[in-house]
C-alpha cells in the first residue's frame, strides 16, 4: 500500500485535487456531505500530507540543523538534549550531523544543510576549524539567509547569534578556588589547546594568578596533543615543580589523570587538588569524586535553540537584524578532589 496522495483520493471520488485538499482542511467551500466522505476515506487510508511538498510550498521545513563536533563527549550530548527539548516543544525536528572535529566534514555538512533542508542551524565548531581559523564555509552559509547560532566553540570572524560559556571566568574561579584552599603551584592540563574555549580558560587562570601575585609559568601548562602520553607528560610536570593543584580542561582527562596519580602515591586532594570540566556522571562517581566546573550543557542547548527559533519565526529584514551573544556562567561543583575551603593544610 503505497503512501496515498490527494490525487489518489480525488480519483477515487471523481473530484478534483483542490476539492480534496479543501475537504481535508475543512474548508467552508465544500459541502458537508462530501467533506465527511472524503475525510473519512482519508482517515481510513491514513492519509497525511507530504511534508516535502508542503515545505517546498511554504518555504519552511520546521527543521533545524545541528552540527556537533563529537557526540561521545558528554557536554555535547547534554547540549543536544537541551536543543531537542525546546525544538520539540516548539514543533521543530532536528537533523543532526557530527563533524567529528573535521574541518572538511564540517564544510561538506554546511553545504548540504544550506540547500533548503533546514530553517536554521546550530553549530559548534570542529577543533580543526578553530585551529585553521578558516570560516569561509560559515560566511557562505550566512549568505544563504538561513539563521545561524554558534555555541561554545565559536569564532569572532562571523557575525551571528552566539551562546557561550564564560570560560574565562570559569578558569578564573577554578584557579581562585585552588588558591583559597591553599594551593601554591597550580598547573593546567589541556587537551583542547586549539580551541577558543581552552585558551579562554587559561586566560582566566592567568588573571587569577596575577591578582594573587603568583608568577605565570608557561611550563605549568601541559598541552596535550592527540597521541600524547599523558602519564609521561605528567611525570615531566611533577619532576619540574612541586605541583599541588591541577586544573584539567576536560572531564575524561581529569579522570585519567587521577588514575595515573594515585598509584604514584599522590594523595588527592591532600597532595594535589584536581578540578575538572564538564560536570558529567564520571565526575560524580569517580573516586575521589571530582570537583568540576559545570557548564550547564542542557541549559546552553535550550538557550541556543530558543534563540534560533525566535530568529526563524521573527522574520526580520537584514537591516533590522541584531545579533546577541549570550554568556552562560559556570558553577563550581565542589566534591572530594579539592581541599575544603576552611581546612588549612
Binding site for a second copy (CB under 8 A): 1-3, 46, 48-53, 55-56, 61, 63, 71-72, 77-78, 80-81, 84, 88, 93-98, 105, 111-112, 114-117, 140, 143-145, 252, 255-256, 259, 281-282, 285-287
- Which residue of 11, 36, 40, 53 would you call a contact of DNA, by CB under 7 A? 53
CB–CB of 290/335 below 8 Å?
yes
Q: Which of residues 90-119 bind DNA (CB under 7 A)?
A: 116
Q: Which is nearer to a second copy, 241 or 259 (CB)?
A: 259
Record the cell numbers describing residue 210, joined without a space. Answer: 596575577
- Which residue of 36, 43, 56, 259 would you call a contact of DNA, by CB under 7 A? 56
Place of cell 560559556: 165
- Which residue of 34, 95, 179, 260 would you call a contact of DNA, by CB under 7 A? 34
Q: Which of residues 294-323 bind DNA (CB under 7 A)?
A: none
Cβ neighbours for 275, distance < 8 A, ≥ 6 positions apart? 174, 177, 178, 245, 246, 247, 248, 254, 290, 291, 292, 293, 332, 337, 338
Told to check if 7 binds DNA by CB under 7 A, we report yes
Of 221, 215, 213, the residue nearest 246 (C-alpha): 221
The partner in contact with residue 22, picked from DNA, a second copy, none with C-beta cut-offs of 5 to 8 angstroms by kind, is DNA
What is the nearest approach in angstroms of a second copy to the Cβ of residue 70?
Answer: 9
- Which residue of 1, 26, 59, 263 would you call a contact of DNA, by CB under 7 A? 59
The partner in contact with residue 212, picked from a second copy, DNA, none with C-beta cut-offs of 5 to 8 angstroms by kind, is none
The partner in contact with residue 281, picked from DNA, a second copy, none with C-beta cut-offs of 5 to 8 angstroms by kind, is a second copy
Q: Which is nearer to DNA, 59 or 226 (CB)?
A: 59
- Which residue of 1, 11, 12, 22 would you call a contact of DNA, by CB under 7 A? 22
Q: Which is nearer to DNA, 16 or 133 (CB)?
A: 16
The partner in contact with residue 286, picked from DNA, a second copy, none with C-beta cut-offs of 5 to 8 angstroms by kind, is a second copy
How far is Cα 96 from Cα 339, in angstroms, rounded to an integer?
Answer: 41
CB–CB of 233/222 below 8 Å?
yes
How far is Cα 182 from Cα 272, in angstroms, rounded to an integer?
Answer: 11
Q: Give the three-class secondary structure for 68.
A: strand
Print burial letters for 181-209: b (CB count within 10 Å at least 16), e (below 16).
Answer: bbbebbbbbbbbbbbbbbbbbbebbbbbb
95 phi and psi angles, rounded to 5 deg: -110, 120
Told to check if 17 binds DNA by CB under 7 A, we report yes
What is the nearest approach in angstroms of DNA to the Cβ of residue 5?
Answer: 3
Record the cell numbers describing residue 31, joined without a space. Answer: 459541502
What is the nearest approach in angstroms of a second copy to the Cβ of residue 176?
Answer: 27
Distance of CA 284 to the CA centre of its chain: 21
Q: Which residues pair with 275 in a beta bridge?
A: 247, 291
- Which residue of 19, 114, 130, 303 would you call a contact of DNA, by CB under 7 A? 19
Of the ranges 4-12, 122-130, 182-190, 193-201, which one interacts with DNA (CB under 7 A)? 4-12
3-state secondary structure 218-248: HHHEEECCCCCCHHHHHHHHHHHCCCCEEEE
Of 25, 29, 7, 24, the residue nearest 16 (C-alpha): 7
244 phi and psi angles, rounded to 5 deg: -125, 10
Q: Which is nearer to a second copy, 226 or 344 (CB)?
A: 226
Residues near DNA (CB under 7 A)? 3, 5-7, 14-19, 21-22, 24-25, 29-32, 34, 47-50, 52-54, 56-57, 59, 116
Amino acid at each position: 500500500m503505497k503512501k496515498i496522495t490527494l490525487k489518489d483520493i480525488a480519483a477515487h471520488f471523481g473530484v478534483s485535487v483542490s476539492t480534496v485538499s479543501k475537504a481535508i482542511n475543512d474548508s467552508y467551500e465544500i459541502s458537508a456531505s462530501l467533506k465527511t466522505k472524503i475525510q473519512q476515506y482519508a482517515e481510513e487510508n491514513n492519509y497525511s500530507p507530504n511534508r516535502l511538498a508542503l515545505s517546498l510550498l511554504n518555504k519552511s521545513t520546521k527543521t533545524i540543523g545541528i552540527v556537533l563536533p563529537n557526540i561521545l563527549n558528554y557536554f555535547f550530548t547534554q547540549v543536544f538534549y537541551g536543543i531537542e527539548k525546546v525544538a520539540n516543544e516548539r514543533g521543530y525536528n532536528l537533523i543532526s550531523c557530527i563533524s567529528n572535529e573535521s574541518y572538511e566534514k564540517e564544510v561538506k555538512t554546511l553545504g548540504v544543510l544550506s540547500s533548503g533542508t533546514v530553517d536554521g542551524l546550530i553549530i559548534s565548531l570542529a577543533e580543526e576549524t578553530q585551529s585553521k581559523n578558516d570560516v569561509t564555509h560559515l560566511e557562505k552559509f550566512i549568505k544563504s539567509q538561513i539563521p545561524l547560532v554558534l555555541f561554545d566553540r565559536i569564532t569572532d570572524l562571523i557575525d551571528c547569534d552566539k551562546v557561550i560559556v564564560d570560560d574565562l571566568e570559569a578558569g578564573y574561579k577554578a584557579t581562585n578556588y585552588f588558591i583559597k584552599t591553599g594551593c601554591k603551584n597550580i598547573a593546567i592540563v589541556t587537551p583542547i589547546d586549539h580551541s577558543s574555549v581552552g585558551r579562554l580558560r587559561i586566560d582566566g587562570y592567568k588573571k587569577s594568578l596575577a591578582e594573587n601575585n603568583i608568577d605565570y609559568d608557561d611550563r605549568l601548562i601541559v598541552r596535550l596533543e592527540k597521541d600524547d602520553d599523558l602519564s609521561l607528560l605528567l611525570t615531566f610536570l611533577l619532576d619540574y615543580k612541586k605541583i599541588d593543584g591541577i586544573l584539567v580542561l576536560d572531564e575524561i582527562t581529569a579522570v585519567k589523570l587521577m588514575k595515573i596519580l594515585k598509584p604514584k602515591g599522590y594523595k588527592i586532594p591532600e597532595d594535589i587538588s584536581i578540578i575538572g570540566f564538564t560536570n558529567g556522571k564520571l565526575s560524580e562517581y569517580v573516586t575521589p569524586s571530582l570537583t568540576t566546573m559545570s557548564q550547564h550543557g542542557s541549559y546552553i542547548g535550550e538557550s541556543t535553540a530558543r534563540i534560533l527559533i525566535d530568529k526563524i519565526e521573527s522574520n526580520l529584514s537584514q537591516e533590522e537584524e541584531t545579533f546577541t551573544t549570550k554568556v552562560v556562567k559556570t558553577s563550581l561543583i565542589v566534591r572530594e578532589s579539592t581541599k575544603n575551603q576552611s581546612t588549612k593544610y
